[in-house]
Amino acid sequence: MPHLRGGERVELVNLAATGPLVFDLPKHYFTFATHVRGRSEEHRARLTSVFIEPEAARLSMVWQTSIPVRPADLDYLDETIVAEKAYLA
């Protein structure tokens, strides 16, 4: 099964007192720019987890990303900037 991307149809049956819930996951596209020792590396994330709480009418989505950093540079992680861009089909 490929990674979730957003836009997938979700159908929950017998999990809410109000009856079946049917919705599409929201579509979001994030970019990341991590600055280490004055250099910037852009990277992408993957949607890794979706938490659905029908009774609380709550949906949480988790994206993860990583970049390799040399051990000598671990103390020089300056910042990671997260931006949301338009989601293109």
Tokens of 6: 């957003």
pLDDT of residue 1: 62
CA distances to 17, 69, 71, 77 from 49, in Å: 24, 25, 29, 26
Q: Determine what percent of the chain is predicted with pLDDT higher than 90.
A: 69
Is 36's pLDDT higher than 80? Answer: yes
pTM value?
0.78
pLDDT of residue 89: 65
